Amino acid sequence: MKLKEVDRTAMQAWSPAQNHPIYLATGTSAQQLDATFSTSASLEIFELDLSDPSLDMKSCATFSSSHRYHKLIWGPHKMDSKGNASGVLIAGGENGNIILYDPSKIIAGDKEVVIAQNDKHTGPVRALDVNIFQTNLVASGANESEIYIWDLNNFATPMTPGAKTQPPEDISCVAWNRQVQHILASASPSGRATVWDLRKNEPIIKVSDHSNRMHCSGLAWHPDVATQMVLASEDDRLPVVQMWDLRFASSPLRVLENHARGILAIAWSMADPELLLSCGKDAKILCSNPNTGEVLYELPTNTQWCFDIQWCPRNPAVLSAASFDGRISVYSIMGGSADGLRQKQVDKLSSSFGNLDPFGTGQPLPPLQIPQQTAQHNIVLPLKKPPKWTRRPVGASFSFGGKLVTFENGRAQAQQGAEPPHHVFVSQVVTEEEFLQRSDQLQQVLRSQGFVSFCQKKIEASQTEFEKNVWSFLKVNFEDDSRGKYLELLGYRKEDLGKKIAVALSKVDGPNAALKDSDQVAQSDGEESPAAGEQLLGECIKEGKQESEFLPSAGGTFNISISGDIDGLITQALLTGNFESAVDLCLHDNRMADAIILAIAGGQELLAQTQKKYFAKSRSKITRLITAVVMKNWKEIVESCDLKNWREALAAVLTYAKPDEFSTLCDLLGTRLESEGDSLLQTQACLCYICAGNVEKLVACWTKAQDGSSPLSLQDLIEKVVILRKAVQLTQAMDTNTVGVLLAEKMSQYANLLAAQGSIAAALAFLPENTNQPNIAQLRDRLCKAQGQPIPGQESSKTPYDRQQLPKGRPGPVAGHTQMPRVPAQQCYPHGENPPPPGFIMHGNVNPNAATAQLPTSPGHMHTQVPPYPQPQRPQNGWNDPPALNRVSKKKKMPENFMPPVPITSPIMNPLGDPQSQMLPQQPSVPAPLSSQASFPQPHLAGGQTFHGIQQPLGQPGMPPSFSKPNIEGAPGAPIGNTIQHVQSLPTEKITKKPIPDEHLILKTTFEDLIQRCLSSATDPQTKRKLDDASKRLEFLYDKLREQTLSPAIISGLHNIARSIESRNYPEGLTIHTHIVSTSNFSETSAFMPVLKVVLTQANKLGV
């Protein structure tokens, strides 16, 4: 198709291949007069700007020349490496002159653009060529058999290639060989071509078919084959292109007879030796394969002859042709639409004629009936065969699992038929050796449960103090008396402290020393701060101001009483049983000890008041701490302490906090530290989270503080997370399977990295199980399939993606279609804007029948707008955000009552804004009444290849809200996330579950019975929810019983628990529970043991 055109009757030269941007130089043609018969001449440079869709070419510069040209070439001589506009423009003039121009100066608008000029030739210089090996060598040809070789570095005196040929004739073409630098060919209209060897300085061969009709208008060497060349004839009687091989110079190797009249110019593509352009007096421009003679392409041209044609050296698909109608056109041989051209013509017409009433007749022209033919020929087909430069010879693409697929086509693809067959290679790319090694170690640790020694190793290997601390803290999780050990880590060793206190007290005089023993315990905590050489809450004293209010009131009491000394007043007060006044008096008189002693006698209330007043009055630096100790108000300490004292605050919490508030307080402190600007403090927050056992927050904090992008730093994190989760699971009996968004993200990143290194099995092992996080479920599916295995570790080895053939999967309307896109035609993903997470399968027991019932809903829908499949945006929607900070409000939002699952009949109807879906922000995928079968109706699943990702809409309205609520928040310190996710990993085949073996049925009945009992006596809805959830999650246990996959030790342990339940000895049950957990394989029991503990604890609490 035509790309550009310029209205010039001119010779043309493209800028060299190195040049960017691409320029086209035009020089007024000496042979043809333009329409104005003007004899003025100019040299112009245009830029080829393909990003401009118009047909116009941008003129960069015009130089008015005194010469007109027979030939114009642009050589790369002295072009700098960057290819800036330069090189040399070499022109052949009318009077034996060769002129060298500096194109960069022309573009710059300089007046002096001529580098050199030489008039040595006779007659017009029609032939010019630059040696491609030595670009300073230029060959020229003119009349009288004159051929000169010019050295651009020494332009004054040319050389000759040898003696002039006889008889003298005009030289119409010269061409340097493309393979051998000292070979030159020349041709003349008489039909003879001569090949010169410049080393020998003589002609070595003459090529002629002796027909006398061969009038050479063009000569070109084969770009690749040194001995081959083509000659074109402009004689109408012999309008041919002859292909010659000098090794068989008696006759042409091949004759291309594609033109009807004489050929005026040829051009052989340097980019593809199978493309030879020729233009002739038949007004055709053809592109042929000179090696076969086949015409590959005919350019759509006007009916004018072209006298010059050139490939663009830089852009191999582009060529330019100069025609006698005074136009230079730039074409692409890649086909395409010619609409642009037509538009230009239309524009021209309308600009010439004006609109509609060109002749001012007052009558608009009748609408023109454009002949249909023009319209239908807009499309220009490309070359019959693809040019070489479009054929990708090599490629390497990554695929899942770090595999690299590479292929290449033989580099010597040349002639020889014995080319080896092509290969596609699949290689495993491993770039992170250390990462893999460490990952492997971690796996071994998990297997061997050698956590303490692992932590110890890590401590020893730690490079930084902080790292060491973190590992020390983690390690403590696996040891007895973890709080005490935490304290030690924070620098508070009890024995050391005792010694220090002894020293301090011994300085006091004798009588007081007697108090030492009794005081020691009481004071030790109070003196921690000084002992540690730090001040706790030093700044907080200013709050003391408020307390002064107490004093006037106290004084008031005093003032009312009759005068006398204070002792007397106290006595009076005591005598009247007025402890309060007596205490006030003592306080007023600063008799603190008296006041406290009296207050004790006056009862709890008074004591508390007195303590308060005392603290208000006292301004010692440690008062606040003592206050907190006495008042047990640790929250305040944690909330308001100077963060420089985080260590002390944490120590205090470790020492005093009750188990139920411990995690919360640690969390709180961590959160404060984290929100502090100080990056050092931020990292310390990690320690708090470790104490709290809050995996999700640890991940968040760590990620914030560390550069987590490299595999090794991710490994650093994962090691800690895995260990901490393990610890939490052991110590807190939390359901550690809950995985928060962030953790899920990190874990899947980690697994992805492992997979990318080819360790697919390891990736699977680390991927958290039983989670409904979409990314994890997807990855799991991908890993399993990549491994060519069913998903392991699941009962009945079913993948979360249903692979069955689903007869019902095809709703009627689609069934008849044999056309593929049946896929979307099923309503697999019609989830409106609340698409489900992938890999989610509902609880098989929930409502098995619902599946079939639903199927026919919204059949045949595929929504273009509705992104099916896992919506990454879901999490952003907040459905699974870590709830830590706004727990309360979320709780309130939770509907309290269980509602039966409502079929999702038409999820599309539920816009994102659906209030109900927003009300359940953290709802993870919840069992919904669509069976996965229903949702994945691929008809052809035989191969099991189909992807059955996603079935469940989540957060869909109509879901049973109560399903999702349980434990969403987990206990403080537990990883936050959904606990329900277990549900979804139940295989769909549940419908045909095996029965629980009779001997174990007792377990189910006992546990269920216990839950029922608890439910009936539980009062608060939260507990009920917990129990509800527990009951559901125990399904995991029952499934394992059905599958008989539990080890005998666990089974017998469970029976023991059941027996203790029968005897209502729940503490014993809990002990057995702990025993099982500590001795069994984590993965085996993790799905149900934590929840069993919850039930036992509740039962114990409720006393059922």
Partner 1 sequence: MQGQAIQADFKQDSLHDAQMDYYGTRLATCSSDRSVKIFDVRNGGQILIADLRGHEGPVWQVAWAHPMYGNILASCSYDRKVIIWKEENGTWEKTHEHTGHDSSVNSVCWAPHDYGLILACGSSDGAISLLTYTGEGQWEVKKINNAHTIGCNAVSWAPAVVPGSLIDQPSGQKPNYIKKFASGGCDNLIKLWKEEEDGQWKEEQKLEAHSDWVRDVAWAPSIGLPTSTIASCSQDGRVFIWTCDDTSGNTWSPKLLHKFNDVVWHVSWSITANILAVSGGDNKVTLWKESVDGQWVCISDVNKGQGSVSASVTEGQQNEQ
3 binds partner 1 (CB under 8 A): yes
Dihedral, 609, 610, 615, 616 alpha carbons, nearest 10: 70
84 binds partner 1 (CB under 8 A): no
CB distance 181 to 162 below 8 Å? no
User: Interior CA angle at 441 toward 437 and 447, to 5°?
Assistant: 145
408 binds partner 1 (CB under 8 A): yes
CB of 838 to partner 1, least distance (A): 8
CB of 250 to partner 1, least distance (A): 32
Interface residue with partner 1, options 500, 863, 1013, 1055 (CB under 8 A): 863
Q: For residues 339 and 2, what is the distance between their CA atoms, to the nearest angstrom?
A: 9
Query: Which of 1076, 982, 967, 952 lies closest to 1024, judged by CA?
Result: 967
Closer residue to partner 1 in complex, CB, 861/1040: 861
Peptide bond into 921 cis (omega under 30): no
CB distance 151 to 136 below 8 Å? yes
- Cα-Cα-Cα-Cα dihedral sign, residues 512, 518, 522, 525: positive
- Describe the strand order of the beta sheet including 127-130 as a list of residue ranges: 127-130, 137-141, 147-151, 154-159
376 binds partner 1 (CB under 8 A): no
Closer residue to partner 1 in complex, CB, 516/893: 893
399 binds partner 1 (CB under 8 A): yes
Distance of CA 102 to the CA centre of its chain: 49
Q: For residues 1101 and 1017, what is the distance between their CA atoms, to the nearest angstrom?
A: 11
Residues 950 to 979: which contact partner 1 by CB under 8 A?
A: 950
Interface residue with partner 1, options 59, 251, 428, 1012 (CB under 8 A): 428
Interface residue with partner 1, options 521, 912, 991, 1001 (CB under 8 A): 912
Closer residue to partner 1 in complex, CB, 123/758: 758
> Phi and psi (nearest 5°) for 977?
165, -160
Site mask for partner 1 (CB under 8 A), range 1050-1069, x = bound: --------------------
CB of 292 to partner 1, least distance (A): 16
CB distance 555 to 584 below 8 Å? no
CB of 419 to partner 1, least distance (A): 5
CB of 703 to partner 1, least distance (A): 9
Helix 579-588 crosses helix 550-560 at what angle (to 10 degrees)? 110
Closer residue to partner 1 in complex, CB, 191/401: 401
Strands 403-408, 58-65: pairing kind: unpaired
Query: Which of 17, 566, 27 lies closest to 308, judged by CA?
Result: 27
Tell me which stretch binds partner 1 (CB under 8 A): 182-190, 252-260, 727-735, 861-869: 861-869
Tell me which stretch binds partner 1 (CB under 8 A): 25-33, 50-58, 142-150, 988-996: 50-58
803 binds partner 1 (CB under 8 A): no
831 binds partner 1 (CB under 8 A): no
Residues 1018 to 1057: which contact partner 1 by CB under 8 A?
A: none
Site mask for partner 1 (CB under 8 A), range 317-356, x = bound: xx-------------x-xxxx-------------------
Scanning the structure block, which residue is given the tokens 């929607």?
877
109 binds partner 1 (CB under 8 A): no
Residues 758 to 777: which contact partner 1 by CB under 8 A?
A: 758
How many CA atoms, within 13 angstroms, populate the side-chain half-sphere of residue 191? 16
Query: Which of 113, 691, 784 lies closest to 401, judged by CA?
Result: 784
> Phi and psi (nearest 5°) for 976?
-95, 140
CB of 854 to partner 1, least distance (A): 19
Q: For residues 1056 and 1093, what is the distance between their CA atoms, to the nearest angstrom?
A: 14
CB distance 48 to 24 below 8 Å? yes
247 binds partner 1 (CB under 8 A): no
Q: For residues 1084 and 1046, what is the distance between their CA atoms, to the nearest angstrom?
A: 7
Strands 241-245, 254-256: pairing kind: antiparallel
Q: Would you state the structure tokens that stand for residue 645, as one six-digit string?
A: 């004292």
Partnered with residue 90 across adjacent β-strands are: 73, 100
946 binds partner 1 (CB under 8 A): yes
The DSSP secondary structure of 550-562, one letter per residue, reads HHHHHHHHHHHSP
876 binds partner 1 (CB under 8 A): yes
Closer residue to partner 1 in complex, CB, 61/828: 828
Interface residue with partner 1, options 422, 507, 658, 892 (CB under 8 A): 422
Closer residue to partner 1 in complex, CB, 55/727: 55
878 binds partner 1 (CB under 8 A): yes
Helix residue spans in 285-383 (DSSP H): 339-353, 372-376
Interface residue with partner 1, options 491, 860, 895, 1021 (CB under 8 A): 860
Q: For residues 533 and 316, what is the distance between their CA atoms, to the nearest angstrom?
A: 80
CB distance 127 to 71 below 8 Å? yes
Residues 51 to 70: which contact partner 1 by CB under 8 A?
A: 51-53
Interface residue with partner 1, options 185, 264, 296, 380 (CB under 8 A): 380
Interface residue with partner 1, options 190, 561, 877, 1017 (CB under 8 A): 877
Closer residue to partner 1 in complex, CB, 579/829: 829
Peptide bond into 1090 cis (omega under 30): no
Scanning the structure block, which residue is given the tokens 């003025």?
40
Query: Identity (one letter) of the amino acid at 1040?
Result: K
885 binds partner 1 (CB under 8 A): no
Interface residue with partner 1, options 7, 38, 40, 50 (CB under 8 A): 50
Closer residue to partner 1 in complex, CB, 651/777: 777
502 binds partner 1 (CB under 8 A): no
Q: For residues 55 and 225, what is the distance between their CA atoms, to the nearest angstrom?
A: 37
Tell me which stretch binds partner 1 (CB under 8 A): 188-196, 512-520, 780-788, 1037-1045: 780-788
> Phi and psi (nearest 5°) for 305?
-70, 150
Q: Would you state the structure tokens that stand for residue 350, as one six-digit string?
A: 């309308």
Tell me which stretch binds partner 1 (CB under 8 A): 101-109, 486-494, 923-931, 940-948: 940-948
Closer residue to partner 1 in complex, CB, 432/1029: 432
Closer residue to partner 1 in complex, CB, 511/943: 943
386 binds partner 1 (CB under 8 A): yes
856 binds partner 1 (CB under 8 A): no
The DSSP secondary structure of 1009-1051, one letter per residue, reads HHHHHHHHH--SHHHHHHHHHHHHHHHHHHHHHHHT-S-HHHH
Closer residue to partner 1 in complex, CB, 48/207: 48
CB of 879 to partner 1, least distance (A): 8
821 binds partner 1 (CB under 8 A): yes
Q: Would you state the structure tokens that stand for residue 1090, as one six-digit string?
A: 């934590």
411 binds partner 1 (CB under 8 A): yes
Residues 303 to 322: which contact partner 1 by CB under 8 A?
A: 314-315, 317-318
> Phi and psi (nearest 5°) for 297?
-165, 140
Closer residue to partner 1 in complex, CB, 49/245: 49
CB of 858 to partner 1, least distance (A): 11
Element at 263 (helix H, strand E): strand 263-268
Closer residue to partner 1 in complex, CB, 932/1031: 932
942 binds partner 1 (CB under 8 A): yes
Closer residue to partner 1 in complex, CB, 351/397: 397
Closer residue to partner 1 in complex, CB, 677/943: 943
CB distance 324 to 9 below 8 Å? yes
Element at 406 (helix H, strand E): strand 403-408
Tell me which stretch binds partner 1 (CB under 8 A): 291-299, 391-399, 474-482, 643-651: 391-399
